[in-house]
Amino acid sequence: EKGWRCKEESADYVWVLDPIDGTKSFITGKPVFGTLIALLKKGKPILGIIDQPVLRERWIGISGRITTLNGQEVATRACTELSRAYLYTTSPHLFSGDANEAFARVRDKVKVPLYGCDCYAYALLASGYVDLVVESGLRPYDFLALIPVIEGAGGVITDWKGNHLHWEASSTSRAT
């Protein structure tokens, strides 16, 4: 998966698209891929869309509003203990070095670790079906659309150190 940056990235409004998030799933017929669309205003995501065409599901997150799935409000579920959490990651093989060790520590403490949902894992998080998504190696086009969706559903999305994600960020993220 390769992305590119437009010359207009410093404009007040910038669209960021990932037309097929989950390219490997798409190629192999696994229906968990989706399209990610973000609108940034002065570098901050104000609109995020996760579109899952196979199931005809669309999550829309708008800054300051509650996230919707096909027009119905959704929310993350409250999970206060890692030992009761359901965790998703695209693949444990995407982690290396310190990130692999950190992921293993989290994975070993959750109730159920699950693998292989690409952007759909974040949609399930926004809808309250899973409690935690942990990833590594993400690029801005992979996560910018997720920010308004997760935050509008009552969740939090950061890097491993708790920093907010932004246009220049990449690498390891987590969402709860």
pLDDT for 99: 77
pLDDT for 9: 59
Binding region for Mg(2+): 18, 20-21, 142
Q: What is the DSSP letter of 90?
A: S
Domain ranges of the chain: 7-175
Q: Give residue-wise pLDDT tens across range 73-129.
A: 999 999 989 999 999 987 776 777 887 788 788 888 989 888 888 899 999 999 999
* 7-175 under CATH 3.30.70.100, yes or no: no
Question: How far is 145 from 99, CA to CA, in rounded Å?
Answer: 23
pLDDT for 6: 57
pLDDT for 168: 63
Is the pLDDT reported for residue 169 higher than 70?
no
Which position has the token pair 């992979």? 142
Measured between alpha carbons, how far apart are the two ends of the chain, in Å?
Answer: 25
What is the enclosing helix (H) or strand (E) of 13?
strand 13-21
Which alpha helices (H) appear in 8-130, and where do they start and end? 23-27, 97-107, 119-126
Arithmetic mean of pLDDT over the chain: 87
Show the CA angle centred on residue 49, arms to residues 135 and 45, nearest 5°. 75
Q: Give residue-wise pLDDT tens across range 1-21.
A: 444 555 565 688 999 999 998
Q: What is the DSSP letter of 165?
A: P
Q: Is this structure's pTM higher than 0.85? A: yes
Binding region: 18, 20-21, 142
Q: Is 29 left (phi over 0), alpha (psi -120 to 50) or beta?
A: left
Three-class SS state of 101: helix
pLDDT for 107: 84
Show the CA angle centred on residue 29, arms to residues 27 and 33, nearest 5°. 75
